[in-house]
Structure 1
Amino acid sequence: MDPRTLPRHELAGLRVEVVDSPNADLVGVSGTVVDETTNTLVVGTGDGPKQVPKAAATFRFHVDGERVIVDGERLVARPARRTETTATSKWR
């Protein structure tokens, strides 16, 4: 999995950290992705769940010992639509 292919995968359960955002309160939010909507990731943190807008953040995912940085704009889509691997999806 790399920055090019990560958006096609299920994000729930992955460790994540917000590394950049115009909203300084979001930078540093880290934990495990517990839920995902079209426009947000819900990150389970030590202080409870935090809802982070995808389009307003750059994320660092921890996958198999590697760190993968993804611009949140690339994640904005319904999770089921984003992860499809058939037909002519722009996510393939």
Structure 2
Amino acid sequence: MLAPETLTRHELVGLTARVRAGDNPDLLDIEGRVVAETTNTLGIEREGDESSDGRTAGERADRVATVPKAGTTFEFTLPGADGAAELVTVEGRRLVARPARRTEKSGDSKWR
């Protein structure tokens, strides 16, 4: 079950994320849905850039911000069971790993 305590061990694609702090000031306050994840980056499609808007994939690609995990603090919105959203802040360095390996890890959560 996706919970704040286990967020770093779950799939991030599909969650809403916001860049709260980071080494690159140009990336601050980018907010949208996580559409891609690599070992070192998250791809965040900015709000309002849904695929049903009639644009081609190439036109949408310029709306996906590639944000490095290391040196960035993210705020994820988790859907609550009662319909209320919960905000969870995570230091990006805690997410640096291949997504498949990161989700297999066990042990204590390292979210902040």
TM-score between the two structures when normalised by the length of structure 1? 0.88
| Structure 2 counterpart of 1:38 | 39
Point out where structure 1 has 5 or more consecutive residues left out of the alignment: none
Structure having the higher helix fraction is 2
Q: Which runs of 4+ in 1 moved over 6 A?
A: none
> C-alpha displacement at 1:75, in angstroms?
0.1
Normalised to the residue count of structure 2, the TM-score between the two structures is: 0.73
Find the residue that maps to 2:23 and give its secondary structure: coil
Gaps of 5+ in 2: 50-61, 80-84
Write the distance in 1 (CA, Å) between the matches of 2:103 and 2:66: 21
CA distance in 2, matches of 1:8, 1:60: 15
Q: Separation in 2 of the partners of 1:25 and 1:56?
A: 13
Which of residues 63, 82, 87 is equivalent to 1:67?
A: 87
Mapped to 2, the partners of 1:82 and 1:61 lie a distance apart of 17
Which whole-Å CA distance do the structure 2 matches of 1:91 and 1:28 have between them?
Answer: 29
How many equivalent residue pairs? Answer: 88
- Over the aligned positions, Cα root-mean-square deviation in angstroms equals 1.7
Q: Which has the larger radius of gyration?
A: 2
